[in-house]
Structure 1
Amino acid sequence: MRYSIVIPVLNQLHYTQQCIESLLANGVPAQSLLVIDNGSSDATPDWLASRPDIRSVRNPVNLGCGGAWTQGALLSDSDWVVLLNNDIVCAHNFIEAQIGAAETHQLDVVSPSLVEFELDYDLSAFTADFLRKMRGTVRAGWFHGVCFSVRRAVFEKVGFLDTDRLLFGREDAEFLARCKRHGLEVGTVGDAVMHHFGSITQNAMKKEQGVSKFGDHRYFYSKIGLNWWGRQQAKFARKSQTARWVASERERTGMTLHMVHRGGSIEYR
C-alpha cells in the first residue's frame, strides 16, 4: 500500500465522523485508514464497530498521541505513514498531494498547508484558489503535528514517535528535532491544504480535568538538549524564519501556508 493514515481519537465522535467522511469523499481509500481509539467513553466504539470498511483498534487506556501514532505505525506496512488529527476536513485528496510533493522535492517527512479554527469560508472554492497560487511552495525544515507523512525508512533511522506522556502536545516537535538532528529533509508544502478546527480533543480534556495546559515545556527542551540560552536562540530563529516565510509568501500570492480564521479576520503564520 502506498500510504496508511493513522488517526488517534478520544471521544469527539462528530469530528471523527466528519474527518473520515471528508477523506473518503475526496478519494482516500477506506483500506488506508487506521483509527486508534484511545479509550473513548462516548459512542465512538459503537460507530467504529458499525464501520467494517474502516480498520480500527481500541485501547483500554489513553496512550496519548505519541503512543497511538507509534502503535499505528507499527501496525502498518505501507511506504508512507500519515499521522493525522481527527479534527480536520478537506476539499481534495491532500494526502496523495502532499506525498506527491514530498517525492518531487525529496522530502522524508511532509505536512500539508492548513487553515485553522473557524470554517467561515467556502472550503472548495478556497482550496482551488489556494492550490492555483501556492502549488510548488515549500517551507523547508518544518512540519506540523496536525498532519505529517513519514517515509517508513525514517522510523528505521530515527525511531518512532516518543510515547513519554510528559511531552503531551509536543511529540511532533520532539520528532522534528530528531529528524533534523539526523539530517533528514522535512517540509510543509503548498500542493496540499486542509482545514483544522484546532485542538478539539486536547481542549476537551483540559476542560474535563480543570487544567489550562498539559505537559512541561522545560522538560521538552531538556529532552532535546536545549538549556535556557539554547531555548532563547531556538525561539528567535524560529520566529525569524517564520516571519521571512510569511513575508515572502504574502508578497508573492497574498496567502501563506499557515492561516488562522477567527472572529472574521485572518492571521498569517
Structure 2
Amino acid sequence: MIFIVIPVFNRWHFTKACIDNLQKQSYTDFKIIVVDDGSTDGTSEKLASAYPEVKVLNGNGSLWWTGGINLGITYALENRADCILSLNNDTLPTVDYIEQLVNASNMKPGALIGSTGIDVNTKEINYCGERIKWLTDSAESLKDSLGKENMKGLHEVSYFPGRGLLIPKSVFSKIGLFDREYFPHYMADYDFTFRARKAGFKVYCCIEAKLGTYPEASGANQLMAQKSFKNYKEHLFGMKGAANLKYYYTYVIRHCPIYLLPISVTIGTLKRLTSYWIKPNFM
C-alpha cells in the first residue's frame, strides 16, 4: 500500500490537475493525503466536495513544506503504509507513473526511487537526478552524463528532491522524518536522502517514472524571474529562497567530507551570492 502525501498551500488548479492524473493511474493500490497548510482559496472545501476519497489534513499556515510532508507521513505510517510517495501539487503524473515506481522498487528493494521531471510545456526532461561534486560545489546531471540514447532504466544518484520520491517505511524507521527544525522548507529533501544513504539505503532515479513539472511555478524560480534587491534578500535569507545561506551552511557542514569543507563552502557561498544576478529569468 502506497500513501501519496501532497503538501499544498493555495494553487487549487495545480492540486486538481495532479489528483485528476493520479485517478487515471494504471496502478491503483494507493491512497492520497493532501496536507492543506491554511489555504485561502477553498482548497480543503473543494477537495471534500470533488474528491471525498482523499484524506485532508489541515495546518494553520506555519507548516511549510517540511512540516506538511511530515504530518502526512506520520498519518500514513500510523495507517499501515508500506511506502510513502512524496509529491508536489504542481506535477502531472503520467498514466503509468506509479506502476513504474513500483516496478523499480521491486527491482531495488529498500531503495528510495525518484522520478524523472518532464517540462509540461517543452516535453523535455528537466531533471533526472545528479551526482554530487563537493570539491567544486557542483553536481553532474544524469541528463548530461547519460545522453539521450541511454535515458532509460535505474541510475544511482547522490540525493533527490521530494517532488516525486518513493520511500519505503523502513527508511523512516531507521532515520526518522524530514528535518523540520533545520530545513523548514527548502533542502529538507536533499538532507533526508543524504541521511538515508549514510544509513545504508540506495537512492535511484527511475527514468521511466515520468512526472510533468512546471519549472516556473516554484517560489524560488519566481524570485529569480523578478529580479530586485528585495527578492535578492529573500533569495539569500528568506524561507522561499533556494540559496538560503543558513540552510546551505547547515546542509554542507552536515554532509560534505571534512577535508573538502573549506573549499566547498567558499565556492558555494560565492555561487549563492552571485548566481541570482547571473542566471537568466525563468519566465
> Which TM-score applies when normalising by structure 2?
0.69
State the Cα distance separating 1:233 from its structure 2 match.
5.4
- Which structure is higher in RCO with an 8 Å CA cutoff and minimum separation 6? 1
Contact 2:81-2:169 at 8 Å conserved across structures: yes
Give CA deviations for 1:12-58 in whole Å, capped at 9, x if unaligned: 11111111111112346496100000111112122122131211111
User: What's the counterpart of residue 176 of structure 1?
Assistant: 193
The answer as to 2:118 corresponding to 1:115 is yes
> Which TM-score applies when normalising by structure 1?
0.72
CA RMSD of aligned residues (A): 3.3
User: What's the counterpart of residue 48 of structure 1?
Assistant: 47
Aligned 1:1-269 pairs, distance under 5 A? 2-27=1-26, 29=28, 32-50=31-49, 51-76=51-76, 77-116=80-119, 118-121=120-123, 134-164=151-181, 166-198=183-215, 200=217, 202-203=219-220, 211-212=234-235, 214=239, 215=244, 216=246, 217-224=248-255, 229-230=260-261, 232=263
Tell me how far apart the structure 2 counterparts of residues 161 and 40 of structure 1 sit (CA, whole Å).
Answer: 22
State the Cα distance separating 1:223 from its structure 2 match.
4.2
State the Cα distance separating 1:63 from its structure 2 match.
0.6
Contact 1:87-1:198 at 8 Å conserved across structures: no
| Higher mean displacement: 39-48 or 210-219 | 210-219
User: What's the counterpart of residue 239 of structure 1?
Assistant: none
Alpha carbons of structure 1 residues 58 and 28: separation in structure 2 relative to 1, 3 Å? farther
User: What's the counterpart of residue 250 of structure 1?
Assistant: none
Alpha carbons of structure 1 residues 91 and 231: separation in structure 2 relative to 1, 3 Å? farther
User: What's the counterpart of residue 126 of structure 1?
Assistant: none
Alpha carbons of structure 1 residues 30 and 180: separation in structure 2 relative to 1, 3 Å? closer
Alpha carbons of structure 1 residues 15 and 175: separation in structure 2 relative to 1, 3 Å? same
Identity of aligned residues (%): 21
Q: Give, as a single letter, the amino acid of the residue that structure 2 aligns with 1:229.
A: L
State the Cα distance separating 1:144 from its structure 2 match.
2.5
State the Cα distance separating 1:66 from its structure 2 match.
1.3
Give CA deviations for 1:141-162 in whole Å, capped at 9, x if unaligned: 4433211111001101111111
Unmatched runs of 5 consecutive residues or more in structure 1: 124-131, 237-261, 264-269
Give CA deviations for 1:95-140 in whole Å, capped at 9, x if unaligned: 2311221221334211111123x523499xxxxxxxx974423234
Unmatched runs of 5 consecutive residues or more in structure 2: 126-148, 268-281
Tell me how far apart the structure 1 counterparts of residues 262 and 17 of structure 2 sit (CA, whole Å).
Answer: 38
Tell me how far apart the structure 1 counterparts of residues 254 and 41 of structure 2 sit (CA, whole Å).
Answer: 35
Contact 2:2-2:30 at 8 Å conserved across structures: no
* Equivalent pairs, count: 228
Q: Give, as a single letter, the amino acid of the residue that structure 1 aligns with 2:72.
A: G
Contact 1:98-1:110 at 8 Å conserved across structures: yes
Tell me how far apart the structure 1 counterparts of residues 218 and 152 of structure 2 sit (CA, whole Å).
Answer: 31
